[in-house]
Structure 1
Amino acid sequence: MFDPTDLYRLSGEVPELTDPVLLYHFEGFVDAGGAGRLAMGHLLEELEHRVVATFDVDRLLDYRSRRPVMTFDTDRWVSVESHELTLRLAHDTTGTPFLLLTGPEPDREWELFTAALDALATRLGVGRLVTVHGIPMAVPHTRPLGITGHASRPELVSGQTSAFGRVQVPGSVAALVEFRLGAKGHDALGYAVHVPHYLAQAEYPAAALTALEAVTRSTGLVFPLEGLREAADRTDTEIAEQIGASEELSTAITGLEQQYDAFAAGAERENLMAEPAEMPTGDELAAQFEAFLAERDERRGD
C-alpha cells in the first residue's frame, strides 16, 4: 500500500489556518476560453503568495505527452521549463488567507493523488475546496455568461440552475477530487462557466471574471478584479469590431441571441446545447475569430 503523503513535500513552516478555502485548477482538461487558467493566473499575478507544498510531478505526469520546453543555445542545453503542481498560500484583498493549487492535471495515480490532497486538506484544516473552468456552449457573448454549479452537497450551490440533466462525460482529476473528498466529508464545489463555443479556443477574460465573481459569492473571498475587467472590456470591444466587419458573423450572432432569448423565456434546455440551424458551425465561427485574434496579436507585436 502506497502512502499518499509521499506524493507531496511541504515547503517551510506549515501555516496555522482556520477553515481556509482551497481554490484549485488543473491544466489539461476542458477549459473553454481559458476561464480557469486565466482566473488562477490573475490571482497569482495580483496577490502575494508563498509555496506550501509541491507534488511529485515525476510520478504524476507522462512527460512524453507533455514534454517540458528546453532551450538549446549554439552547442549546449541551457534551460528547461519544468512542470510544477504547487499548493500556495495567498491572502485576498481583505487579508483573509486562502490556498491555491495549480499546475498540470496528473496523468496517472489519480486515486492516490486525491488521497494525498485529502490528507493535505485535513492537515491544513481546509473548510471548502472550489474549482472553476470553462465549457463551450451555443450562447452569444452579448448575453451574461451562465454558470453550472456542482457540489458535494446540493445546499452549497442552492439557487443555481443547470442546463444539464443526467449525463456521462469523460472524467477529470478536478471532478474526482470533488467526488472523493466530498464522500469523505469535505465541502467541495465547482463552477463551469458557459463560454460562447466560437470563443472556446481563444483567451476570454470575461469567463475568468465570471468564475472569480462566482467564487466570491460562495466563499466571501474578495479579489482584485479591475485588471481582469479591463482585459474583458478590451476583448469585447475587439470582438464587436470583428463582428461589425462581417455580415456573416453578425447574422450568426443574431441567431444565437434569438436562440438564447427563447431559452431564457422558457424554451427547451436542449437549445443551448444544439448547433444553431442554418448558421456557421462553432468550428467555423471559432476559425474566423481565431484568425482575427491572431492578426490582432501580430499588430500588437509590431
Structure 2
Amino acid sequence: MREEAKPGSYAYLLAAFDGWNDACSASTNVVRHLLNAYPSQEVGSIASEDFYDYQVARPMLCHVQGKRSICWPETKFYEVSISDATRLLVETGPEPNYHWSEYCRQSLHMAEDYEINSIITLGSMFADCPHTRDLPIDDLASDDASCDTEGHSGPVGVPTVLDAMACQAGFSTESIWVSVPQYLGSDECAQATLQLLRRVSSMLGEPLEEGDLPMKAEHWKAQASVLIHCNDELADYVHRLELESDSKAASLIPEAVDTPAGDELVREAEEYLKSMGGQA
C-alpha cells in the first residue's frame, strides 16, 4: 500500500532503461545508486510477456536461497524515501521491444496512481568528448503550452516516447542525457552517473547522497589517462577533443567577461584544428 502524499510535498517519477539509451549503464546506474543509498520498496511492475522479445532480452537463470528460478525481463517501480518534501518513484527495466505506446500508457497510469507532478527521463549516449573535461549534459524540458522541445532530431528510444506521451497527458517533463567518450568502450562510466545524479539533485532541490561515486569517477579518469599515455595516436585524438571542448566553452563566455586568456584559448584551438585538417 502506497504512502499518502504529505502536505506540501512534490512527487517525481524518475525513469531509466537498459539498452540503446544507456551507454556504459550511466543512466540506469543512477537508479541503482538511489535504491542502494535510500530506503526503498518495490511497489509495482509491468509484466513482460507483451513487451519483450526473449531472444533479445533473454530470461536469466537465478539462484535464490539455493533454489533455481527463471528471472524474466521486467520493468519495476520503486518508492524511494528522499525527504518529507520530495516523493520519488523510480522506474527501471530493459527497453521494451514491442508495443511502446501501451508500455508508456501503463507507466503513466502508475504515475497517476502515485500523484506524480513531474516526470524525469534519463539517458546516456556515446559521443566525441574527452574524459579530461566535464562530460556534456543535454537537458531538454518540455514547453508547458505546446510540448515542443529543442535538440535531437532522428531515431529515439523509449525515454523520448515516454517523455512525449507524458507531456501530452499534462505532466511536467524533463529529459536529461549525458555523453560518454566513445573511445573508452562500454565499461561503466561513474563520471557520467555522478554528473546525472548531480543534475537530478539540482532538479529535485535535494542534496542527494553521492556515496562512493566521486571516488569511482576519479578511478575511471585515472584508468582512461593510463590508456591514453600508452597510445600516441589516441592521445593526439583526445587532445583535439580537449581543444574543441575548450573552444566551445570559451565561446559561451559572455563578451562582458571576455578575457585575453579566453581569446588565446580560442586561437590555439582554431590553429590546431586547421593543422589537423591540413594533415588529412
TM-score by length of 1: 0.74
Which residue of 1 is the match for residue 225 of structure 2?
Answer: 240
- Give 2:50's aligned amino acid: R
Count of paired positions: 246
For the Cα contact (< 8 Å) 2:178–2:192, is it kept in 1? yes
**What does residue 183 of structure 2 align with?**
198
Cα deviations by residue, 1:2-44 (Å, 9 ceiling, x for unpaired): xxxxxxxxxxx13212431111111122322321022111112
Q: Which residue of 2 aligns with 1:52?
A: 43
Residue 211 of structure 2 aligns with an amino acid whose one-letter code is: E
Following the alignment from structure 1 to structure 2, what is the Cα–Cα distance between the partners of residues 96 and 226? 20
How far 1:263 moved relative to its partner?
Answer: 2.4
Unaligned runs of 5+ in 1: 1-12, 156-161, 272-276, 279-302
Per the alignment, in what secondary structure is the counterpart of residue 198 of structure 2? helix
Q: Comparing 61-70 with 179-188, which one deviates more in the overlay? A: 61-70
Q: CA 1:131/1:257 → structure 2, altered by over 3 Å: closer, same or farther?
A: same
Shift in alpha-carbon separation, 1:154–1:144, aligned structure 2, 3 A? farther
Instruction: State the match for 1:185 in structure 2.
Output: 170
2:17 aligns to what? Answer: 26
Deviation at 1:211, TM superposition (A): 0.5
Q: Is 1:14 aligned to residue 5 of structure 2?
A: no
SS of match in other structure, 2:45: strand
Give the RMSD, CA atoms, in angstroms. Answer: 2.6
2:53 to 55, 62, 81: 62
Deviation at 1:57, TM superposition (A): 1.0
Pairs within 5 Å for 1:253-292 = 253-266=238-251
Deviations 1:42-80 (A, max 9, x none): 1122222111111111122111221112379xxxx9332
SS at match of 2:50: helix
What does the per-residue CA deviation read over 1:159-186, in whole Å, with 9 as the maximum and x for residues that have no partner? xxx8x4xx53222221111101101210
Q: Please give the per-residue CA displacement for 1:66-100, whole angstroms capped at 9, x wherever unaligned.
A: 1112379xxxx933232221111011277843111
Give the conservation status (yes or no) of the 8 Å contact 2:10–2:85: no
Structure 1 residue 172 and structure 2 residue 163: aligned? no
Which residue matches 2:257? none
Q: Quick one: distance in 2 between partners of 1:71 and 1:193?
A: 32
Asked whether the equivalents of residues 93 and 224 of structure 1 are also in contact (C-alpha less than 8 Å), the reply is no
Give percent identity, aligned residues only: 24
Gaps of 5+ in 2: 252-265, 271-275
DSSP 3-state at the match of 2:69: strand
- 122-131 vs 216-225, which deviates more? 216-225
Counterpart Cα distance in 2 of 1:63 and 1:22: 27
Residue 222 of structure 1 is matched in structure 2 by 207
Structure 2 partner of 1:98: 88
Checking the alignment, whether the CA contact within 8 Å between 1:151 and 1:178 is kept in structure 2 is: no
Q: Distance in 1 between matches of 2:144 and 2:133?
A: 27
Say whether 1:132 aligns with 2:122.
yes
Distance in structure 1 (CA, Å) of the matches to 2:107 and 2:68: 34
User: C-alpha deviations, 1:198-219, integer Å up to 9, x for none?
Assistant: 1352211000000011111112
Amino acid at match of 2:72: S
**TM-score, normalized by length of structure 2?**
0.79
The verdict on how the C-alpha distance between 1:99 and 1:255 changes in structure 2, with shifts beyond 3 A counting, is same
**What is the identity, as a one-letter code, of the residue corresponding to 1:172?**
G
**1:253-280 alpha-carbon deviations (Å, 9 max, x no partner):** 112111222222338xxx9xxxxx67xx
Q: Deviations over 1:128-154 (max 9, x none)?
A: 111111122211111111211112227
Return the alpha-carbon distance in structure 1 between the equivalents of residues 144 and 213 of structure 2.
Answer: 30
Give the equivalent residue in structure 2 for 1:158. Answer: none
Could you say which residue in structure 1 is the equivalent of 2:254? none
Q: 2: CA distance between counterparts of 1:199 and 1:71?
A: 31
In 2, are the aligned partners of 1:94 and 1:222 still within 8 Å (CA)? no
> After TM superposition, where is structure 1 displaced by more than 4 Å over at least 4 residues in a row?
none
